[in-house]
Structure 1
Amino acid sequence: MSKICSLKEAVSDIQDGQTVASVGVIGWITPDELLKGLGDRFDQGDGPRDLTFYFPCGTGDAMDIGGMDRVAKKGLMKRIVSGSYINPVHPRTGERPKLMQLIKQDAIEAYSWPIGASMQWLREVARKSPGYLTKIGIGSYIDPEQDGGKLTAKATEDLVEKVSFQGEDYLFYRSWPIHHCFIRASSADEFGNLSFEDEGLMSSALALALATKACGGTVVVQVTRQVDRYSRPAGMVRIPGDFVDKVVIVPDQVMVTDTPHDTRYLSPARLQLDTLPKIPFGADKIIGRRAYMEVPKHTLTILGFGASSDMPLVMVEDGALNEQNMHEYRFTTEHGSYGGVVMTGWQFSTNMWPEALVDGVTQFDAIDGGLCECTALAFAEFDAGGNVNVSKFGAANPGAGGFIDIAHNASKLIFTGTFTAGGLSISSEDGVLRIDQEGKNKKFVARVGHITYPVCTGVAERSQEALVITERAVFKVLEEGLELIEIAPGIDLQRDVLDQMGFVPKISPTLKTMDAWIFRDECPVTV
């Protein structure tokens, strides 16, 4: 019996109060038609109501690929647990995502879990264990002694507990059932065997299917095409049809935002670095240049979303990353793409010209095992105690993503971001930096609004090496806090650095001036 069905049939048996999970990484591998179909069913008055949604990662971009915004409806969504959230201002409407509006209105129960936990938790659900036990996240916002990952006042249930096991503290994410899951693949046969040949990622697709089936639930899949059974080599089929219940054909599903299809995300063949976009000269390029000076060769380096993901593109433009030495730099992201060039913006998460791809849960096995020795991560706030925040600040509640697991387990940490935010404007002439307009928001504060990761703890307890790199200053993180070790040429220490901080850092007795070439529009040398 064929598992191919209509969109209406695919979402017809979801009932009030059940849990629906979905794969998706921003726009990548998002089953957008399935989520839209469920939202449309609710809008048409056919229910269901009061659902719990589980998204291991932020799903969709809240714009052309709506993702989690498709089901962000009062009455439909009662609770959401997500590894990250999407919070851009829509370029055409100027609105925040519908989901973020519900969170700001305290209209739903919203929880933010680290992506490492949201991925690994699926394995525990699949094997019917009591839950996921980990030390990662202790002392951060997910710790119940902080706020337990609760984003809204309505979120009152403690989904994460702090427990003692063999005399040590752990965080425990207890298991609960998944009744339906939505996943996306490229091709399916009538039995539901799935292959991912057109996808830049696989993410949590397999883990979601296994967890849902272990709970007696229904696995629904969105694919581009139907193929004949027995027509593909077994190695191409990444999810057996035994774990699939319904398949919907969506011929026009796009690869990712602004990219209907691009083979550069699928294969290392035909390397063409001159086709990559260029980062315009400004603070981000300056930060990217200074940051890539810290990346060791022949070391697996994992990049996070934001300013840090600009770094490989800056390296290519400067000639520091080229066809001859690309194999010497080992770049990946938390989502499992290896080799090639990590992309930035809405294309972040996968790499152009990748050499290998693993699924999301396996990638966090590698991360949690400390195999990604070096990392570059963006930051929103740093405080006097050496705590970093990327998860909740100002009007943004993006969550931690994979930040906590990555930061906890890497040996070398490179944090990147502008010194201030909200209107910062800089210029440079002859390698001298000028602050034309200071940002209105300080990012170095007395105390962060959310502790995403306690960096000083990692430095003290696990001998981590950590730097904070901005367009005008570089800090080293010590056990007791931040030490200023470099400032940009042309920068006044008091006016442009110390007066823009909410605390006074230690100043190195050998304070250096950053290299002038970093601040020139055109890189004068091949680094």
Structure 2
Amino acid sequence: MNKIVSAKEAISSIRDGHTVASVGVIGWVVPDMVLNALGERFESTAAPRDLTFYFPCGTGDAVGIRGMDHVAKEGLMKRIVSGSYINPVNPATGERPALMRLIQENRVEAYSWPIGASMHWLREVARKSPGYITRIGLDTYADPKNGGGKFTERCKDDLVQRIALNGEDVLFYPTWPLDVAIIRASSADEFGNLSFEDEPLVSAGLALALAAKASNGKVIAQVRRVLKRGERLATEARLPGVFVDQIVVDQTMMMSTDTPYDASYLHSRNVGTSRMPTIPFGPDKVIARRAALEVRKHELSIFGFGAAADVPLVMQESGAFDPVHAPNDYWFTTEHGSYGGVVMNGWQFSANMHPDALIDGLSQFDVIDGGLCEFAALAFAEYDAAGTVNVSKFGKSNPGAGGFIDIAHNAKRLVFTGTFTTGGLEVNFENGEMRIVKEGKISKFVSTAQSITYSVADGVRRGQTAKIITERAVFDALPEGLVLSEIAPGVDLKKDILDLMAFQPHAIADPLPLMDAALFVPETKECVTQTSGGARQEIEDSPLL
């Protein structure tokens, strides 16, 4: 039996009403050729119709690697369930992704689940259990009492239930079958045994395949090359060929966005194939420098997408990762299973450069939900008077939570990073001081957040510690409210902080310490006027930066 087929042949058996699931993490491990073929089939034949798409994580960047944007077509897509959504502005066209337009115009049923749930749910499908049960996400936007993760008015079905179990409220995600799983690997032999030697992430690939096969469904694997059976060790094959129905070969598939291939994402040693990026001096770098002071040696630390991902890069630039004297002092990871090395930002987020080890996505959320990542740095879009932080839905952005809820719920120490305001913020730095040249249009400190991603106040009551770090102020979160604990030199307390908050801090430290002046000194020692976000606004264009 020859399993090697074209992408067009692979998707030809998908029928009206099927549920199609795919792996992918931004640009990483995206089976883009197969997803593109499905979108092209619909364009040319108007079939298949009314599909449900299941993406455990945001798949593709909607720019260079389009991913789920290939299938974001009204009529083809009836429903989408995803752990995160991508919302960049295309730098060439200025347009938002097609999927985001469908969501904003209420032309598709769109559900957003925390990635911990979207990953672990697959295990329950694979073992044919009634569903996934978790405490994580209670009282957040994923909780039915706050919308149940529904992102459009078209969503009528309750895919998440709040139930009582042994006298305790929990969230229950009922299972349903997957008809097709589209996954990606590096190599396959003729029988379909898959290996991932060129992929710095495995994500949900293995789990998707097992869930589909348990559902009597089909598994399509996109690979870069085909090997002869027996050409490699059995220990190198991560998914047995008995679980793979068809193989699509794409010899030119990208490793990730803007990265055809880079061995630095596969080797712990410096293989000299790329240079570490640097963060331009400005508000983002100031925030990252201050947040870096909270990072401890020999503590497993996890970093989220957005401003928080700058922290390891400024530490790298400062020489914190001395490969001779301190090769293993800092233990870094992300929600996607890359361990060691340096967490990257922007489109390269998710896979670490120079990692020590990799685990799959479901195992990584076992680590996260088990509380093994004791320190977490996460971005924030809004923080409100009730101690709620929001990154999931604000303005025209609907990114969902990603791994945020699981990470925030289970870490012992939390740091939330981001600029104080967004939308045109410009600041001036001189002699270790900061001045606001042009204030951002939107303050992130609001009376009521637009979406409940996580209750910091509840977490602190459970024993967590939390800080909110901006370019001009640092706050400590207490159950009673925020305490303003540091202020940037050169900033006016009333005009630049208190007047811009929709609520007032519970307390202000007296005396109020200044943030270290060294945080505000550019490398060139000259007066610099900078805006927040810069070129990265092309990626997110959101208050997360």
| Partner residue in 2 for 1:256 | 256
Secondary structure of 1:467 counterpart: strand
Matched residue type, 1:128: K
Verify the 8 A CA contact 1:55 1:83 in the aligned structure 2.
yes
Give matches, 1:36-55, under 5 Å: 36-45=36-45, 47-55=47-55
Distance 1:194 1:273, change over 3 A: closer
Name the counterpart of 1:227: 227
1:364 corresponds in structure 2 to 365
Q: Secondary structure at the match of 2:36?
A: helix
What residue in structure 2 maps to residue 503 of structure 1?
503
- The amino acid across from 2:33 in the alignment is E
Q: CA deviation at 1:523?
A: 9.3
Give, in whole Å, the separation in 1 of the partners of 2:120 and 2:109: 22
2:263–2:271 Cα contact (<8 Å) kept? no
Match status 1:208 vs 2:208? yes
> Does residue 95 of structure 2 align to residue 95 of structure 1?
yes
**AA partner of residue 202 (structure 2):** M
Return the alpha-carbon distance in structure 2 between the equivalents of residues 181 and 9 of structure 1. Answer: 15
The offset of 1:5, in angstroms, is 1.0
Pairing 1:338-353 to 2, within 5 Å after superposition: 338-353=339-354
CA deviation after TM superposition for structure 1 residue 325, in Å: 2.0
Residue-by-residue CA offset, 1:70-89 (whole Å, 9 max, x unaligned):
00001000000000000000
Greater Cα shift, 268-277 or 51-60:
268-277
Could you list the per-position Cα deviations for residues 460-492 of structure 1 after superposition, in whole angstroms to 9, with x for gaps in the alignment? 0x2001000000000001011111100000010
Following superposition, the deviation at residue 271 of structure 1 comes to 5.9
> Could you report, residue by residue, the CA deviation over 1:30-82 in whole angstroms, capped at 9, with x for unpaired residues?
00001000001111115100000000000000011000000000100000000
User: Is the Cα contact below 8 Å between 1:56 and 1:118 reproduced in 2?
Assistant: yes
Q: Name the amino acid aligned to 1:76.
A: L
Secondary structure class of the residue paired with 2:80? strand
Alpha-carbon contact 1:25-1:349 (below 8 Å) kept: yes
Q: CA RMSD in A?
A: 1.2
Partner in structure 2 of residue 278 of structure 1: 278
Give 1:275 deviation, angstroms: 2.1
Query: 1: distance between equivalents of 2:511 and 2:162?
Result: 43
Q: Quick one: distance in 1 between partners of 2:504 and 2:272? A: 46
- What's the TM-score, normalizing by structure 2? 0.95
Cα distance in 1 for partners of 2:234, 2:515 equals: 54
Q: In structure 1, how many angstroms separate the alpha carbons of the residues matched to 2:319 and 2:385?
A: 37
Task: Give me the whole-angstrom Cα distance separating, in 2, the residues matched to 1:291 and 1:119.
Answer: 29
Structure 1 CA distance, aligned partners of 2:464 and 2:393? 24
Secondary structure of 1:427's match?
strand
What SS does structure 2 have at the residue aligned with 1:275?
A: coil
1:274 positional shift: 8.9
Unaligned runs of 5+ in 2: 526-545
In the alignment, the residues of structure 2 paired with residue 327 and residue 428 of structure 1 have an alpha-carbon distance, to the nearest angstrom, of 34
The residue type paired with residue 138 of structure 1 is L
Q: Tell me if 1:331 matches 2:321.
A: no
Instruction: State how far apart, in whole Å, the 2-side matches of 1:195 and 1:235 are.
Output: 9
Deviations 1:394-450 (A, max 9, x none): 110000000000000000001000000000011211100111110000100011000
User: How many Å separate the matches in 1 of 2:251 and 2:320?
Assistant: 40
Give me the whole-angstrom Cα distance separating, in 2, the residues matched to 1:277 and 1:159: 41
Q: State how far apart, in whole Å, the 1-side matches of 2:374 and 2:276 are.
A: 27
Q: Is 1:305–2:305 an aligned residue pair?
A: yes
Alignment of 1:334-413 (within 5 A): 334-413=335-414
Partner of 1:426: 427
Q: Which amino acid aligns with 2:435?
A: R
TM-score of the superposition, structure 1-length normalised?
0.98
Which segments of 5 or more consecutive residues in structure 1 lack a partner in the other structure? none
Q: What is the CA deviation profile of residues 227-250 of structure 1, one whole-angstrom value per residue up to 9, with x for unaligned ones?
A: 011111112111110111000010
> Which residue in 2 is equivalent to 1:265?
265
Question: Residues 440 and 187 of structure 1: is their aligned pair in 2 closer, same or farther, counting only changes over 3 Å?
Answer: same
Contact in 1 for aligned 2:10/2:220 (Cα 8 Å): yes
SS in 2 for 1:230: coil
Q: Judging changes above 3 Å, is the alpha-carbon distance between structure 1 residues 274 and 428 closer, same or farther for their aligned structure 2 residues?
A: farther
Q: Secondary structure at the match of 1:328?
A: coil
Name the CA shift for 1:381/1:50 in 2 (closer, same or farther; >3 Å).
same
Q: Structure 1 counterpart of 2:114, which letter?
A: P
CA distance in 1, matches of 2:200, 2:442: 36
Q: Deviations over 1:87-139 (max 9, x none)?
A: 00000000000000000110000000000000000000000000000000001
**Contact 1:273/1:322 (8 A) holds in 2:** no
Larger mean CA deviation between 152-161 and 319-328 belongs to 319-328
* 8 A Cα contact 1:297 1:330, kept in partner: yes
Question: Equivalents in 1 of 2:406, 2:273: separation in Å?
Answer: 31
Q: Deviations over 1:239-283 (max 9, x none)?
A: 110111000010000100111000000011226699211100001
C-alpha distance in structure 2 between counterparts of 1:233 and 1:424, whole Å: 55
Aligned partners of 2:27 and 2:59 also within 8 Å: yes
The CA distance in 2 between the partners of 1:98 and 1:262, in whole Å, is 29
Q: Is the 8 A contact 1:273 1:316 kept in 2?
A: no
> Which residue does the alignment assign to 2:472?
472
Instruction: Check if 1:70 corresponds to 2:74.
Output: no
The answer to whether the 8 A contact 1:326-1:340 is kept is no
Instruction: Give 1:13-32 correspondences, 5 Å limit.
Output: 13-32=13-32
Distance in 1 (alpha carbons) for counterparts of 2:156 and 2:521: 52
Equivalent position amino acid for 1:179 in 2:
D
Instruction: Give the paired residue count.
Output: 523
